[in-house]
Structure 1
Amino acid sequence: MTPAQATSTTRAPGTGSAPPLEDLTTRANVHDLVVDFYREIVFDELLEPVFDEVAEVDWASHIPRLIDYWCRILFGTKEYVGQVTAVHRHLHSLDAVRPEHCDRWYSMWIAAVDRQGAGPTSDHAKTHAASLMAGMAKHIFGYEWTPPEPGDSPNP
């Protein structure tokens, strides 16, 4: 088996199951995760209006910044320069970010991570997302938030 075959996420003929996913280990992995996640966001009836109508996100500049952010969190790189708190405080001032937004964002993030990787770095991406959202909810949005249990916040 070649390395490409070993890391492929396609199903082996006749097995009906995909090989185990590898962990998030490269910037390319993070790129795929971020693109996968936000591709789902733009079709989500709850979150899409927040990103498109309220925040008026310019995806061409936003996606690379998010890749830099997550590479900093997961790998300790230094490319990300930004103010996560200030950006979300401004967003909340335009239109309140509610607990259901946090639940949906988090549930969709977990699903995207699960589609893209498995291992310690993938687990860190999930735990950081929970801590990040809990901190923003408490200090910016003005309420306590805890991650929903799997299945508690269904995606449409």
Structure 2
Amino acid sequence: MNRDIENLDDITLLVKTFYDELCKNPVMDHLYNKVMKIDWEEHIPIMVHFWGSLVLRSGSYRGDIIGHHHHVIDKIPLTLSMFEQWEHCFIETLDSLFQGTNTEKTKKRVTAMTKSLVTKLNINS
């Protein structure tokens, strides 16, 4: 039985594992590593702060999630399928590592955030 998400070390494990798994998908690997050319040493800590703020209410993230995604759209069209793949991988990663109240809340936040981004970014297909 896995334990629940409790601290930033857990968030760090989640984020690192998620991106390792996500980039096994050729479409997502192309998006993150070829198109966006993500600097993982810079990106991982930002995402740890983002998810720490959402899951643990750490308040450590200060950023513009919509603006960052608009920057990506300037380089490549984002599709509903990309967001669905992202969401599916995140939830699978959560399920493989954790279980409990924070984990279930995080799944709901992931789904809500995916829907919100798709709507705000006007992703139709």
Task: Verify same fold: TM over 0.5.
Answer: yes
Q: TM-score, normalised by structure 1?
A: 0.76
Higher helix share: 2
Q: TM-score, normalised by structure 2?
A: 0.94
Cα distance, 1:56 vs. partner?
Answer: 1.2
| 2:98 paired with 1:110 | no
Cα distance, 1:22 vs. partner?
Answer: 0.7
Greater Rg over alpha carbons, structure: 1
Match of 1:32 in 2: 13
**What letter corresponds to residue 104 of structure 2 in structure 1?**
D
Structure 1 runs (4+) greater than 6 angstroms displaced = none
Residues 34 and 63, structure 1, Cα contact 8 Å, conserved in 2: yes
Q: CA offsets, 1:86-117, max 9 Å, x none? A: 00011112111111111111110011000111
CA distance in 1, matches of 2:88, 2:12: 19
1:126 is paired with a residue of what secondary structure?
Answer: helix
Cα distance, 1:61 vs. partner?
Answer: 0.5
**What letter corresponds to residue 47 of structure 2 in structure 1?**
L
**What letter corresponds to residue 80 of structure 1 in structure 2?**
Y
Match of 1:96 in 2: 77
Match of 1:140 in 2: 121
Higher relative contact order (CA 8 A, sep 6+): 2
Match of 2:36 in 1: 55
Match of 1:6 in 2: none
| 2:74 paired with 1:80 | no
Residues 97 and 141, structure 1, Cα contact 8 Å, conserved in 2: no
CA distance in 2, matches of 1:48, 1:142: 20
CA distance in 2, matches of 1:142, 1:106: 15
Cα distance, 1:133 vs. partner?
Answer: 0.9
What percent of counterpart residues are identical?
18
Query: Which structure 1 residue ranges, 5 or more long, are not aligned?
Result: 1-19, 145-156
Number of residue pairs the alignment of both structures matches: 125
* Aligned counterpart in structure 2 of residue 128 of structure 1, from 90, 106, 109: 109
Residues 41 and 47, structure 1, Cα contact 8 Å, conserved in 2: yes
Residues 89 and 141, structure 1, Cα contact 8 Å, conserved in 2: no
